[in-house]
Structures are given as C-alpha cells and as structure tokens.
Amino acid sequence: MRNTSELKAISARFGIVIPTMLESLIDSGAASYPADFNKNFSRILTTNPPALSATYDLEWLDDNEPSSVLSEWLAPEYQHGNFFVPFAQSGGGDIYALIKLASGEQGCALLWHDNPESEINYLTFEDFICGRFLDAMTDLSHLEDDLSPEEAVICLRRDYIVVPAKYLTSFFQAEAH
C-alpha cells in the first residue's frame, strides 16, 4: 500500500499543504493499483477501481515518482519561483500537481510537459475531484475502448462510491450547516 511520506516531505519543503482528501486517498490504498491491474483491468474497473479510474487520462504516481518528476523536469530552480507536488500523470507524461505559484496562489493543475507556462486549473483538490467527475459524467467514451458502455457506467458508479461519496461528504455537508 502506498503512503504519503514522500509527498509530505516535498510539501514541507515547498510550503504546500497536502489536502486531507488526497492524503486519505493515498493512505487508504484507494490511489493504488493492484498487482494484477493490467491482467485483470476490466474486472477491477467494474468491481473495485482505483480512485478516479472513471475519469479521463489520470494515472496515480507511485511512492518514489514525485521526486523523480521534480528532478527530471519540475526542478524548483528552473520554475521561476513556482513549486509543485506531483501526485498523478496523464498517459502522455503530463503531470497533475498541487501548485504554489510565485505570486502565492495555490491550487491544483495539470502541467503540460511541452508548455513552459503554469496556471492553476482548480483552487482546491476537492474542486479538482469534482471537476474530474463532472467531466466523466458527461463523457465515458474513453472507457469504451476496454469496457462495454454498461461496464463504463458501472466503473463510474464504483469510482463514485470510492471517491466523492466517501471523501467529499464533509465537503458537501459544509454548505448545509
């Protein structure tokens, strides 16, 4: 099972707080892939998918990968005062990260490996999660390469049970009080 020790070390170095929800997803194992994931992809996606499996083009980084990403292309000395805590990647190698801009703004972003500009796409990690699920709910075609349309819906439902229903409960209830 993964843990957040590397992310915490990076976040402490840059003064970026790891959101409780991200920490919970990683420490609970929800952001991990079972050893047989590639072999049993369809079954896993329709029974117990890793968090955000129903969303388009997101792969969780392993424990040691955030430091590798920082040393390979997000090295702080080359980022003009911007700092990043990488937590996932796209299939093309773009990085999802918590971000702290030189201006002091913080949030969550997708950092394109072929674009030198960084901008915050979401103000919070919770906004990022909500945005990812809203996108998935409008278009599941990316899952239909490997799953039937019915299985894609099952994957979304199972993923929703793992992430928003379990971890965003307090986020949604905060407004009700």
Q: Among residues of the chain, what percentage have pLDDT more than 90? A: 54
pLDDT for 90 equals: 93
User: Which residue has tokens 């950092």?
Assistant: 111
pLDDT for 173 equals: 58
Long-range (24+ apart) CB contacts under 8 A made by 133-140 are 133/54, 133/55, 133/159, 133/160, 133/163, 133/164, 135/55, 135/56, 136/54, 136/55, 136/56, 139/56, 140/54
pLDDT in tens, 13-54: 999 999 989 998 998 899 999 999 999 999 999 999 999 999
177: burial class by Cβ within 10 Å (0-12, 13-18, 19+)? exposed
Asked if residue 58 lies in contact with residue 52, where contact means CB atoms within 8 angstroms, the answer is yes
120: burial class by Cβ within 10 Å (0-12, 13-18, 19+)? middle
In this prediction, residue 61 has a pLDDT band, given cuts at 50, 70 and 90, of: very high
In this prediction, residue 169 has a pLDDT band, given cuts at 50, 70 and 90, of: low
In this prediction, residue 75 has a pLDDT band, given cuts at 50, 70 and 90, of: confident
pLDDT for 142 equals: 94
Pairing of strands 83-89, 95-100: antiparallel
Q: Among residues of the chain, what percentage have pLDDT more than 70? A: 92
In Å, how far are 26, 39, 45, 131 from 123, measured between CA atoms? Answer: 20, 37, 29, 11
Domain boundaries, the chain: 5-147
pLDDT in tens, 105-148: 899 999 888 877 767 889 999 999 999 999 999 999 999 999 99
pTM of the full predicted structure?
A: 0.89
Token pair in block for residue 37: 């994931």
